């Protein structure tokens, strides 16, 4: 049986565009003699459609599209993901389903049983869980069909709850001779390894071939990497698609002996690429799709400070959109180093992007003059530092408004975590590109870009070696206010992504006073992150919809009162 795994890039809500993608895939599969075509989860409407599902007209339009797709099928059997109506009269109004169709008729439909509600997922808000597990006969062969989370049975990176049903195992017990999983599984930097290991374990433990197809593309903050996979019944990986782009993998499956052979020219090397590469490719795809699918702008603008964060953001923008669609601005002040401008000029020249210079000293002086009578008798401090950042943010937004650019925010995860950023200043923007990338990772990716991607010095070495600084006061360095980034990022990873307690982090041998300072800063700056632009998710726990921390609460307050004995004030006011 010739089976095709086809990872496509749908757009949420673009029913006509998604229909075109699906019908084109069906037609091409028929021409190529494919007997079974597998397409991703919720391919008709895109994932996650969120509260679009609450609109009756939207649901009815998707149901109509389901019928049109089914009627368009020929000899090639097709399995595609969509919503389907719950006609039982009880429970939620719809299911998240896999629809199997052939020769213009629906063969069967399978409803997603395990509905995740952790991190960015909210399936139980909309969908009724499926509770029937029976193999589906396609071309005379019994397949066990599952949808995304169904195959991740109790095998996620952070176990929020324990499922009591293992759909793959139940289907195997009921006579399925091969497993199929259609997914819209978001990327994170650990996912390529954990996903492959999880699927391999299922195939090996159950002794069944397993065919997995995943969505590709970005939907606001979520990036889907594709990475579709095929395993034989011994758990041996037989095929792996490209990542971060639409791709097709054709398999010859022999039902008589469960032999799985690859028909298409896929990468012979199944090794996982370095994290720097996958994070970079995810961010490039995220920027490109965000602009294209939102329709907000065709060009972007960003500030270049001569620092590492704006350098990486600029490279990502250039690779995503082309140099002609990227405008950069350097805005030196009296506290800016010489490299702030010269390094920005060299980077822009290397990338071929436009750079303009708007000095802000005169504007900053005008602010100080206006506030002088009211600030009289006080020392230069956080308020004056942030005025510079807000001046830059205002200028960038003015240029974006005037010429129809989208402003890209350049803040990293380390800064966002501890509040080392300015509301309505350097936090301005329509998309936060690297807000889920720690400072140490920013350096690693930039070094990888020069060494492996470009194979030459595109990001100036002077940017890579200079000590990080906000340059908002004389001789300012990040290390004046923060632990070294290696220590900071280690603590943040333990606290945010691994969700370890203070005591558990201390057990890793880190100074308790440093831990207390960092945890306090993270908790006290949640209000800033509530007002931040959407950011692209590349970790297991990003700031955004996947981390919901209350602003008005007393748990953090109890910790604050204890820690105030050590730290009487914070220097990270907005």
**Which sequence positions are flagged as catalytic?**
41, 112, 148
Instruction: Evaluate whether 227 touches 213 at the Cβ level (below 8 Å).
Output: no
Instruction: Evaluate whether 416 touches 532 at the Cβ level (below 8 Å).
Output: yes
Q: Alpha helix (H) ranges present in 295-337?
A: 308-321
Task: Rounding to the nearest 10 degrees, give the CA dihedral for residues 295, 299, 303, 308.
Answer: 90
Distance CA 326, CA 309 (A): 16
Other beta carbons within 10 Å of 380: 11
The β-bridge relationship of strands 299-303 and 326-330 is parallel
- According to DSSP, the residues that pair with 299 across neighbouring strands are 405
The residues, any chain, with a CB within 8 Å of residue 222's CB and separated by 6 or more, are 48, 120, 186, 187, 537
Residue 196: strand, helix, or coil: helix
Residue 215: strand, helix, or coil: coil
Instruction: Evaluate whether 325 touches 297 at the Cβ level (below 8 Å).
Output: no
Distance CA 160, CA 203 (A): 24
Task: Rounding to the nearest 10 degrees, give the CA dihedral for residues 13, 18, 19, 21.
Answer: 180
Nearest Cα to Cα of residue 80 among 36, 126, 43: 43
Distance CA 133, CA 448 (A): 47
């Amino acid at each position: 049986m010739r089976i095709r795994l086809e990872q496509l890039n749908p757009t949420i809500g673009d029913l006509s565009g998604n229909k075109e993608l699906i019908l084109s895939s069906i037609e091409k599969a028929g021409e190529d003699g494919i007997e079974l075509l597998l397409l991703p989860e919720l391919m008709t409407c895109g994932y996650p459609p969120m509260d679009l599902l609450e609109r009756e007209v939207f649901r009815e339009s998707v149901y109509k599209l389901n019928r049109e797709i089914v009627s368009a099928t020929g000899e090639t059997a097709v399995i595609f993901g969509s919503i389907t109506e719950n006609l039982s009269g009880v429970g939620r109004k719809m299911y998240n389903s896999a629809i199997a169709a052939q020769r213009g008729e629906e063969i069967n439909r399978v409803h997603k049983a395990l509905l995740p509600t952790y991190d960015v997922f909210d399936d139980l808000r909309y969908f009724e869980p499926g509770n029937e597990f029976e193999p589906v006969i396609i071309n005379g062969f019994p397949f066990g069909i599952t949808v995304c989370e169904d195959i991740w049975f109790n095998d996620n990176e952070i176990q929020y709850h324990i499922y009591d049903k293992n759909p793959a195992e139940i289907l195997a017990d009921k006579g399925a001779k091969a497993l199929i999983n259609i997914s819209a599984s978001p990327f994170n930097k650990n996912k390529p390894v954990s996903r492959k290991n999880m699927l391999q374990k299922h195939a090996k433990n159950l002794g069944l071939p397993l065919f997995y197809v995943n969505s590709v593309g970005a939907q606001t903050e979520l990036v889907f990497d594709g990475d579709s996979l095929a395993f034989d019944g011994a758990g041996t990986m037989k095929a792996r698609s490209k990542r971060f782009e639409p791709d097709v993998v054709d398999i010859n499956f022999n039902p008589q002996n469960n032999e799985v052979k690859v028909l298409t020219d896929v990468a012979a090397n199944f090794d996982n690429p370095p994290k720097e590469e996958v994070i970079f490719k995810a961010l490039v795809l995220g920027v490109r799709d965000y602009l294209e699918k939102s329709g907000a702008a065709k060009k972007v603008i960003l500030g270049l400070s001569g620092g590492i964060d704006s350098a990486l953001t600029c490279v990502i923008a250039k690779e995503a959109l082309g140099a002609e669609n990227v405008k950069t601005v350097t805005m030196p002040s009296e506290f800016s180093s010489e490299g702030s401008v010269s390094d920005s000029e060299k980077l822009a020249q290397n990338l071929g992007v436009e750079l303009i210079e708007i000095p802000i000293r005169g504007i900053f002086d005008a602010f100080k003059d206006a506030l002088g009578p009211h600030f009289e008798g006080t020392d230069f401090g956080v308020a004056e530092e942030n005025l510079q950042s807000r001046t830059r943010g205002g200028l960038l937004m003015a240029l974006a408004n005037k010429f129809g650019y989208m402003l890209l925010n350049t803040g990293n995860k380390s800064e966002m975590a501890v509040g080392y950023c300015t509301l309505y200043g350097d936090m301005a923007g329509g998309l936060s590109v690297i807000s889920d990338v720690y400072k140490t990772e920013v350096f690693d990716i930039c070094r990888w870009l020069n060494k492996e991607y470009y194979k030459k010095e595109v990001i100036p070495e002077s940017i890579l070696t200079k000590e990080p600084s906000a340059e908002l006061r004389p001789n300012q360095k990040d290390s004046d206010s923060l632990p070294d980034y290696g220590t900071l990022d280690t603590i943040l990873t333990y606290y945010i992504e691994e969700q370890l307690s203070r005591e558990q982090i201390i057990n890793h041998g880190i100074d308790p006073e440093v831990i207390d300072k960092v945890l306090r800063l993270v908790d006290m700056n949640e209000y800033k992150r509530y007002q931040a632009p959407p950011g692209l998710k590349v970790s297991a726990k990003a700031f955004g919809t996947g981390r919901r921390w209350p602003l008005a609460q007393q748990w953090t307050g109890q910790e604050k009162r204890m820690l105030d004995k050590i730290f009487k004030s914070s220097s990270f006011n907005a």
